[in-house]
Chain A
Amino acid sequence: MAAGVAAWLPFARAAAIGWMPVANLPMPVAPTEKNKRQDELIILNVSGRRFQTWRNTLDRYPDTLLGSSEKEFFYNEETKEYFFDRDPDVFRSVLNFYRTGKLHYPRYECISSYDEELAFFGIVPEIIGDCCYEEYKDRKRENAERLMDDQEDNKDAKLPNMTFRETMWRAFENPHTSTMALVFYYVTGFFIAVSVITNVVETVPCGSAPNQKEVPCGERYTVAFFCMDTACVMIFTVEYLMRLFAAPSRYRFMRSVMSIIDVVAILPYYIGLVMTDNEDVSGAFVTLRVFRVFRIFKFSRHSQGLRILGYTLKSCASELGFLLFSLTMAIIIFATVMFYAEKGSSSSKFTSIPASFWYTIVTMTTLGYGDMVPKTIAGKIFGSICSLSGVLVIALPVPVIVSNFSRIYHQNQRADKRRAQKKARLARIRISKTGSSSAFLHSKRNGLFNEALELTNSTEDEQRLSKSTSLLESQHHHLLHCLEKTTNHEFVDEQYYQQSYLEAGLQNYPSRSPSLSSQDGVTGTCCTRRSKKHHTPLPNASAPAHMQPLTHTHTHPQGLQELSTIHIQPLSTSRSSLNMRVDEPAPLNCQSSQITTAIISIPTPPVTTPEGDAHLPAGPTHQNVVKVSAL
């Protein structure tokens, strides 16, 4: 319940009078207000700045510093005020929280100082209102990232029991972790460079005997180059296999881009080994060598920038695609025009439209090689139009792509953030709802438990008395209790409801063996209502001997299902004890209006699941399997 509407609780309670004539049962007693004080102003002196507010305002949140008795520690007798040696600016937000029920985060405030103040005053930051929540989370994340960056420098501490495999993986991913990893990193980098340079130098013509034509180095020093190639491929293969071994998820590793590049880089070599000296496929073999250039992409493991570039292109794919498409359109248009313009002239290079593509591209990108030049006047005119428009067409999309990229990137971030926050926000609402309802159930349990303890004169577990809830809460719970009495149903939590829903569904089979479904157990114990005085002695696991299945079928009228019975059980009873009283041939006299107090204890589902009799003697469970009823 939001404290903002705490002031309306008297109204809600007054309106409950509307239920009274309808209810068939007497209402629970209202909580008394012990030492009710007149509302008074209290002065909060925060580093010299005085804030004043009503005491009731602060009492709205009893689990914070200002709302609880903790503030008495700060009470100054002489000046009759509460003195806090904290930041008065942040305190403004804190106090406004009490007043309005919403916590706001001022933008100019430093995130860590704000967090500290909230922690001091016992306020959980999760309740920041929606208006300021995004900002707060953003700042918090930035701060956390900054701290993490600082931490990463000293993250070299090796975790004690990492398996060899994990160590290896870590070494591969972060070369800075150990010297070995660094050495490995540099060695592979070196060999990638060597391999690439080899590929390049292979094709350079080496000087040779003047009478022979120039031969590329690759063919001159075949053996040397082959050895170098082999060595590189060896290293790469070993590296790939080691990574494969160390990867936590091999399947995922094999699908990753980097590993595909690795494979493509070394595959041509092996394919070449397999099919050597075969004239037919040597052409194909040559093309395969082209793929060796992919080794250069292995550098992207070594370079963060390359990875970012790759990601940029990937995310900008649609923009780039559009650019390509519009360029193609322009090229086709101008090529066609140029072709038909130059058709007339003799010895024109514009032999076909595809042939004009080359001219158009070269002109539009302002390269202007000059190998194809228009000769007719019309051709020249259109050619100049082509080159002018080329400048525009090329220059225009680039900033668009750049801005698109940054926009898309930030948008993705924001959409993800919003989605995450929406989930968090719904979760918060749900939590606060279930929090208040479970608070009610909890206090009901404890409140009735206390009364039952008095009845049974049991001194066990007196220390289980919960700490007293605030007056506001107890009044709210009283209100909910009145509603329960009016409708003759109780609030239960989700778990238990689903449990009993299933059981109610199962109840429809009359041929069911008389196992202890909770319904049966309930109506069964209704016979024991009169025996509330003599509670069952604590049976333990030996009780199963007494266990008799419920033989009398319960043919209660439908209405009786609503009236469950009260049965007080002492602690640590097993279900079998429920059985023990069943054979009392007491008529079902559940209509009397005597209220006996009851304990609700929501048993965990496994315990209450109706199982065969054989399963029941599972030893004394420490659950209070008590059903509550209002009679």
Chain B
Amino acid sequence: CGVYLCTFSGVEDELELSAVRHRPEGLEQLEAQTRFSRKELQILYRGFKNECPSGVVNEETFKDIYSQFFPQGDASTYAHFLFNAFDTDHNGSVSFEDFVMGLSILLRGTVQEKLNWAFNLYDINKDGYITKEEMLDIMKAIYDMMGKCTYPVLKEETPRQHVEVFFQKMDKNKDGVVTIDEFIDCCQNDENIMRSMHLFENVL
């Protein structure tokens, strides 16, 4: 496992974790657990360590980094959901292992795994069902990233309508929630979605 080193600064005010250092597992283990080659892991780690010298990403840094890719809008809400999706052990920080596992699924996984991951992202409370409220939150977060200068002008009910369309498509038994099977089924029948799943395969 990774090695955690915490040092505490002065006794005065609060107990401050002044430095947390996390070293990832060895290269061989990661190579075995993910579908990346050694070289790819090296490249990934160098980039990771550059932005997060302490070895872990906390939510603030995550939001910061993700927001840099979307200058027009506000990417923080979506980054929050993303962070929860990557932080598989829910300890509030994303280590390099979590990061690389997530990427391995997204870039090198089977379609089933990718859809699984997407379902996990949408299911905010991780109870196995996507409700309309959860979907609405996600949708609003995505639309937030567009910002305000869009064409056509973004309206209040646009995310809601989009959620309706989504549910119409996905919720086969019309019970108001989307389960994992309905989701995967429906996505596999949709040509567009299947094609887009293979879009980023050559990213690294």
A residues contacting B by CB (< 8 A) are 1-2, 4-27, 30, 32-33, 38-39, 433-434, 436-437, 476, 479-480, 482-484, 486-494, 496-497, 500-501, 504, 559, 561-562, 564, 593, 628
Contact = CB atoms under 8 A, between A and B. Distances in A.
Interface in B149-189: 149-154, 158, 161-162, 165-166, 183, 187
A493 B122 CA distance: 31
Contacts of A492: 149-151
Contacts of A437: 71-72
Contacts of A489: 143, 146, 150-152, 154, 158
Closest 10 CB pairs of A and B: A7-B47, A497-B149, A14-B106, A489-B150, A433-B71, A20-B196, A492-B151, A27-B196, A26-B192, A10-B203
Given A5-B65, A9-B69, A10-B103, A21 B152 contact: no
A108 B106 CA distance: 49
A630 to B, nearest CB: 11
Interface residues of B, number: 60
B153 A7 contact: no
Contacts of A7: 43, 46-48, 50-51
Nearest to A499: B151
Contact of A17 (B46, B149, B150, B197): B197
A497 B154 contact: no
A593 B195 CA distance: 14
Contact of B118 (A12, A17, A30): A17
Contact of A491 (B118, B143, B146, B193): B146
Main secondary structure of the interface of B (DSSP, over half): helix
B129 interface: no
Contacts of B151: 489-492, 496-497, 500, 564, 628
Given A489-B152, A564-B152, A20 B197 contact: yes
B204 to A, nearest CB: 6
A374 B46 CA distance: 88
B199 interface: yes
A27 B146 contact: no
Interface string B100-141: 001100110000001101100110000000000000001100
B33 to A, nearest CB: 17
Interface in B23-39: 39
20 contacts: A1-B68, A7-B47, A7-B50, A8-B51, A8-B65, A11-B103, A14-B203, A15-B66, A17-B118, A20-B193, A21-B115, A22-B139, A22-B166, A26-B195, A479-B69, A484-B146, A486-B142, A496-B149, A500-B151, A501-B153
Contacts of A21: 115, 118, 122, 183, 187, 193
A23 B203 contact: no
B147 A491 contact: yes
B188 to A, nearest CB: 11
Contacts of A436: 71
Contacts of A2: 68
A5 B68 contact: yes
B153 A497 contact: yes
B116 to A, nearest CB: 11
B91 interface: no
Contacts of B146: 483-484, 487, 489, 491
B107 A14 contact: yes
B152 A500 contact: yes
Given A38-B39, A500-B153, 12 more contacts: A11-B103, A13-B200, A15-B82, A20-B193, A21-B183, A433-B72, A487-B142, A489-B151, A490-B150, A490-B151, A496-B151, A559-B161
B187 to A, nearest CB: 5
B4 interface: no
Nearest to B114: A17
B106 A15 contact: yes
Nearest to A38: B39
Contacts of A476: 69
Contacts of A26: 192, 195-196
A474 to B, nearest CB: 13
B56 interface: no
B197 to A, nearest CB: 6
Nearest to B204: A10
